[in-house]
Amino acid sequence: MSAFEFVAVLFSVIVGLAISHLLSAASELIEIHSRVRVYWVNNIWLVTVFIWDIFSWWGMWELNNLEMWKYPSFFLIVVNLSGIYLMTTLVLPKSNESGIIDLEKHYFSVHRIFFIITAWNFGSIILVNHFLFFKPIISPFTIMPFLLAVLSLFGAITKSHIYHGFLSIFTFISLIIFMSLDITIIK
């Protein structure tokens, strides 16, 4: 077993559980759709987080190029993936609530912690690119995560519907652009 295979097991479990949780929560809400009051911002975050989960899994392949692993590198990746897991579990409410499930109410009840975790995740992306892939702190690989971290921190403190709508669309578009620039090929 290679070093990458050894460390990739935990990475795969974390991201796999995140995707499983998201799909399960979405499926449960679809089953009781007549009791669900949708909120377009929450729906954009649902799609964004799902794509982010998949992209994170795909991006793990680049870690295969690391010649050796030390605990701080491993810990940094686990911190990053833990943020992804927590974001994923917060984006949708549990469907075991009785009565109407209001996704807007849920969104604003968890938005502070969701965006603090999102900022933490973007910050850890900067650290991963710098310490594991030796990218400069200020580079194309860090500018967008830094900007999104700052925007996310502001998202944690504001309840402005306009800002949250903007942030959801901006983050979604940023993720799509970032993905389109990824040249990772798995052989």
Show the CA angle centred on residue 122, arms to residues 86 and 74, nearest 5°: 75
Q: Indicate the domain borders of the chain.
A: 3-181
Determine contact, residues 88/26, Cβ cutoff 8 Å: no
pTM: 0.92
Measure the CA–CA gap between 163 and 160, rounded to whole angstroms. 5
Higher pLDDT, 169 or 181: 169
- Angle, in degrees to the nearest 10, between helices 103-131 and 71-90: 160
Residues 6+ apart with CB under 8 A from 118: 83, 87, 148, 149, 152, 155
pLDDT at 97: 64
Q: What is the mean pLDDT of the chain?
A: 92
Q: Look at the block and give the residue holding tokens 């912690």.
A: 113
On the question of pLDDT at 87 being above 80, the answer is yes
Between 155 and 68, residue with greater pLDDT: 155
pLDDT digits over 152-180, tens only? 999 999 999 999 999 999 999 999 988 88
Residue environment code for 122-139, b if the CB has 16+ CB neighbours within 10 A, otherwise e: bbbbbbbbbebeeeeeee
- Cα–Cα distance list, 184 to 26, 39, 125, 141, 147 (Å): 29, 34, 17, 14, 23
The pLDDT of 48-70, averaged and rounded, is: 90
pLDDT in tens, 19-54: 999 999 999 999 999 999 999 999 999 999 999 999
Position 2 confidence tier, pLDDT thresholds 50, 70, 90: confident
What confidence score (pLDDT) does residue 168 get? 98
Most confident by average pLDDT, 54-58, 138-142, 169-173: 169-173
Q: Is 17 exposed, middle or buried (0-12, 13-18, 19+ CB in 10 A)?
A: middle
Q: Determine the average pLDDT of the residues in 117-146.
A: 89
Tell whether the model's pLDDT for residue 133 goes beyond 90. Answer: no
